[in-house]
Structure 1
Amino acid sequence: MVDNDKHGDGIDRRTYLGGLAAAAAAGTAGCLGGGGDDSDGGGGGGGSSQALEVLHGWTGGDGSDAVDALTEAFNEAYPDLDSNIKAVGGQGNVELNTTVLRRLTNANPMGSFANWPGKNLERYRGSLMDHEDVWEEAGYKESMQDRVVELCTFNDKMPAVPIGSHRMNNLFYNTAAFEEAGIDPANLESVPDFVDALETIGSETDYTPFAHGMQAPFLGLQTWAQILTSQSGVEAYENFIAGDGDRAAVIDALETLQEIQENYITEDASSIGYTQAAQKLIADEAACIHGGNWLYGMFRADDEFNFGEEWDWVPFPGTEGLYFYHVDAFVTPSNNPTPEKTRTWQEFVGTKEAQIAFNNLKGSVPLRTDIDPSELSDFLAMTYEDLTSSDAYPPTIAHGLAVEPEAMNACKSAIGNNFMGPYDAEAAADGLLEAVSGGSS
């Protein structure tokens, strides 16, 4: 028996408009842009003959390959279950979130949709289905990491099942660039070490020191979070997302980000995103890039750009022992048009088969604790070990886990309005601190 959320038939208009505001600034990573279908088809109503409709935002590259593998595995497991698993295209999660919010507001839900769990679920309050029975019967509360069980619990319900995790605090580097500059990445233990390395690369080689996209403000926000953590410690970051940030530490991290953006990035950085920035490593034009390990999903698609040979990685300098936590999941709306088919899908998403098929291509790692690392690629096996054995797991601020959607939107606005050139560290700091303290409400 599947219990629908008792709070009503759809999201109220205030929640919807607030969600749209958050969605407008949520052009975030882990969901590649590119074509896709943004139609409103599928709709509420319908009985057992209606196809299961699943929406996601993985419309190109590693994401498209991963969801295709997941779809193929699901169809093989349930060949008689009619399904329509489709992309809502472009600009990260922006179009997906807008479509989902619009349809839920119009009482026209889909069966399931890809999204982030945790505080991000606040945007769907009152319109989520409970899958406590799936978690219990499939044993997922025992086989999933405790922290992801907590993130998938919302409003005393369990409306989400996780599909994979990206680690955020990665510094990927082009090995030839670092060798030419005479830099041992293992010696980058702090942000000053990192900035010194960028200076050396800039003066001693023809490589752009740091590949960085500034097309969307989340890119600066996620890098600023790493700098803050490195310079002032993980407690400073956790205090910040809890609404008790140290203004001086926030400004220090912003000023370091400004130094990097003014001196060590490409001239076209303001007009590109992380996809184009990462391509500069593959093309031997840039030395390193910060980002989630979805970048590995991009690198692995190039047969001539190989892990341990043409590229490698280290934790972002000063964040050794941390796993900055990012999670993708599938979420289910209430008044579900295909409740039993949706239940079947959600249960499948949590299986070993589904998590291995999806994550090996996406560049993410399963959330289950019983995965044999030999079934993952070398890089992901190493990441999976880090997922299970790191010292701390701070949640990502730019991808829905650390703060609620309205605060995340306001943080991106603080960066977008004050820190994408010209730079105003004090105004950006005030905007960030106000956002997480609830002052943006």
Structure 2
Amino acid sequence: MGAAGGRWARSARAVGVVAALGVGLAACSAAPAPAEPAEQRVEVFTWWASGSEKLALDALVRVFAEQHPQTRFVDAAVAGGAGSAAKDVLASRLANDDPPDTFQVHGGAELAEHVAAGRLTDLEDLFADLDLAADLPDAVLDAVSVDGVPYAVPSNLHRANVLWANPQVLADAGLDPAAGYATFDDWLAALATVQASGRTPLAVASTWTQVHLLEQVLLARLGPDGYTGLWDGGTDPGSLEVTAALADFARLIGYTNDDRDALDWQDAAQRVAAGQAAFTVMGDWAFPVLESAGEHPTWRPVPGTAGTFDLVVDAFTLPVGAPNPQTAEQWLRTVASTDAQVVFANAKGGLPATTAASTSDLGTYQREAHFAFRADAVVPSLAHGSAIGPAELAALTSAVGTFTRGEASVAQLQAALVEAAGG
């Protein structure tokens, strides 16, 4: 048409031709221009916004870009407090019918609450298409399912009950750096020795890390069955045995740094790496932080928890009303792939969720954790949303903060635990 218009402008003879075709030209000029193809994008919501966790997410995104180069990844990560800030933002978005295309969730009670609220699309068809259930250990499949229906694709799993130590600090205190601390009481004695040497025995951080520490004390003192019983009704949270465990928790807090509430977990790990503290208790996501500091920390199960694997499962969902469900499914397929699981686990410090991954592709720590997971009793994490729901966890976290600030008694903390456990 543009060329015909040019000839009309240059030649009067073209006038008759244009007049004869007037109707056709009018119709052509009225037709809309072809629409530009919509951009393919996927908005992924996580709390992996900084440090080693962001680097691990970046590694996962690189695999996604290789598998789905036509889709743009949109990072909607929110930093802070082991996901507490992100979960607040997510709750607001979901309440306002503004879901991301997919969001990170912890398997277990946290996931179940989203399902009960009708926020998630079930993933039965995707699991069937990928034959994913066949490649997931029972504990992981249970964590991402509600009433036998899968609602999330696990990206990795973590062991929460890990004690990290700086061997030089222990040696300087006159302790054997290779000691295993067979019992919780053996460890308490070692902490007292470090304290006498002038170093911080146990580095902890803000309140959620203190809940993480409480979780390990309960597990060490009650054992896997007694600990799990707190959440399924098999153990009385008001018992004298629990009272004694909470008293042990109070003793542990006495060996920690006074500025704990001003720190996050990475800061506590860095103090161990820098030789300012002997120990920190944190999940195996701390491994990349300690390794990147140029140190070679020792690790062992938290004393008293050997033979138990305190499980944290990270997973991704398909929200009801997701703006781009097709690209969200692309993301979920990448997350489920063996290549992505191995890359992500090695970068984040945990394990692939899938059994299809070869141990030869894993780092030294991951290989050890892999065999522990297959051999140990598996229990759900309290601090990371597996054992109790978000509202109960928030209330208990507040109570722990009040307690560690010296503003509540053991009896008051136990009353909060009773309430959180369904009291």
**TM bracket (short chain):** 0.7 to 0.9
The CA deviation at 1:401 is: 0.6
Aligned mate of 1:179, from 151, 155, 171: 171
The amino acid that maps onto 2:290 is F
Residue 409 to residue 209, structure 1, CA distance change in 2 (3 Å): same
The CA deviation at 1:228 is: 1.9
Aligned mate of 1:73, from 63, 76, 88: 63
The alignment partner of 1:102 has SS state of: helix
Q: Distance in 1 between matches of 2:152 and 2:236?
A: 30
The CA deviation at 1:211 is: 1.1
Determine whether 1:279 maps to 2:270: yes
The amino acid that maps onto 1:52 is V
Residue 405 (structure 1) aligns with: 390
The amino acid that maps onto 2:320 is S
Q: Distance in 2 between matches of 1:231 and 1:416?
A: 21
Residue 153 to residue 227, structure 1, CA distance change in 2 (3 Å): same
Residue 51 (structure 2) aligns with: 61
Determine whether 1:147 maps to 2:133: no
| Native 8 Å contact 2:381 2:387 kept in 1 | yes
| Native 8 Å contact 1:211 1:289 kept in 2 | yes
- In structure 1, runs of 5+ residues without a counterpart are 1-46
Residue 117 (structure 1) aligns with: 107
Residue 189 (structure 2) aligns with: 196
CA RMSD of aligned residues (A): 1.8
Residue 25 (structure 1) aligns with: none
Note the alpha carbon deviations across 1:100-154, whole angstroms, 9 max, x for none: 2222222222110111121102442211012111111111100111111111112
The normalised TM-score by structure 2 is 0.86
The alignment partner of 2:378 has SS state of: coil
Q: Distance in 2 between matches of 1:229 and 1:90?
A: 26
Radius of gyration: which is bigger?
2
Kindly report which structure 2 residues correspond to 1:319-330, keeping only aligned pairs within 5 A, or say none: 319-330=305-316
Aligned mate of 2:122, from 116, 127, 130: 130
Q: Distance in 1 between matches of 2:368 and 2:240?
A: 36
Q: Distance in 1 between matches of 2:390 and 2:59?
A: 30
The CA deviation at 1:435 is: 1.6
State which drifts further: 218-227 or 164-173. Answer: 218-227
Determine whether 1:105 maps to 2:105: no
Q: Distance in 2 between matches of 1:248 and 1:272?
A: 33
Residue 418 (structure 2) aligns with: 433
Aligned mate of 1:293, from 281, 284, 293: 284
Residue 367 (structure 1) aligns with: 353
Determine whether 1:333 maps to 2:312: no
State which drifts further: 176-185 or 428-437. Answer: 176-185
State which drifts further: 377-386 or 286-295. Answer: 377-386
Kindly report which structure 2 residues correspond to 1:294-309, keeping only aligned pairs within 5 A, or say none: 294-302=285-293, 304-306=294-296
Aligned mate of 1:419, from 404, 407, 411: 404
Q: Distance in 2 between matches of 1:50 and 1:81?
A: 5
Note the alpha carbon deviations across 1:1-34, whole angstroms, 9 max, x for none: xxxxxxxxxxxxxxxxxxxxxxxxxxxxxxxxxx
Q: Distance in 1 between matches of 2:223 and 2:125?
A: 40
The answer to which structure has the higher helix fraction is: 2
The CA deviation at 1:53 is: 1.2
The alignment partner of 2:145 has SS state of: coil
| Native 8 Å contact 2:155 2:316 kept in 1 | yes
| Native 8 Å contact 1:364 1:380 kept in 2 | yes
The alignment partner of 1:374 has SS state of: helix
The normalised TM-score by structure 1 is 0.82
Note the alpha carbon deviations across 1:74-114, whole angstroms, 9 max, x for none: 00111112332332233331232122222222222211011
| Native 8 Å contact 2:312 2:386 kept in 1 | yes
The CA deviation at 1:333 is: 0.3
Q: Distance in 2 between matches of 1:184 and 1:286?
A: 14
The percent identity for this pair of structures is 27
The amino acid that maps onto 2:411 is E
Note the alpha carbon deviations across 1:300-352, whole angstroms, 9 max, x for none: 222x212xxxx101111111111000111111201221122111211110111
Residue 229 to residue 95, structure 1, CA distance change in 2 (3 Å): closer
Residue 156 to residue 369, structure 1, CA distance change in 2 (3 Å): closer
Q: Distance in 2 between matches of 1:338 and 1:273?
A: 34
Aligned mate of 2:220, from 206, 226, 230: 230
Aligned mate of 1:269, from 254, 260, 278: 260
Q: Distance in 2 between matches of 1:155 and 1:52?
A: 29
Residue 250 (structure 2) aligns with: 258
Residue 9 (structure 1) aligns with: none
The CA deviation at 1:236 is: 1.7
Q: Distance in 2 between matches of 1:268 and 1:103?
A: 34
Residue 42 (structure 1) aligns with: none
Residue 76 to residue 187, structure 1, CA distance change in 2 (3 Å): closer
| Native 8 Å contact 2:81 2:264 kept in 1 | no
* Count of aligned pairs: 382
Q: Distance in 2 between matches of 1:179 and 1:290?
A: 19
Kindly report which structure 2 residues correspond to 1:157-172, keeping only aligned pairs within 5 A, or say none: 157-172=149-164
Note the alpha carbon deviations across 1:230-250, whole angstroms, 9 max, x for none: 223222211112244242122
Residue 86 (structure 1) aligns with: 76
State which drifts further: 358-367 or 186-195. Answer: 186-195
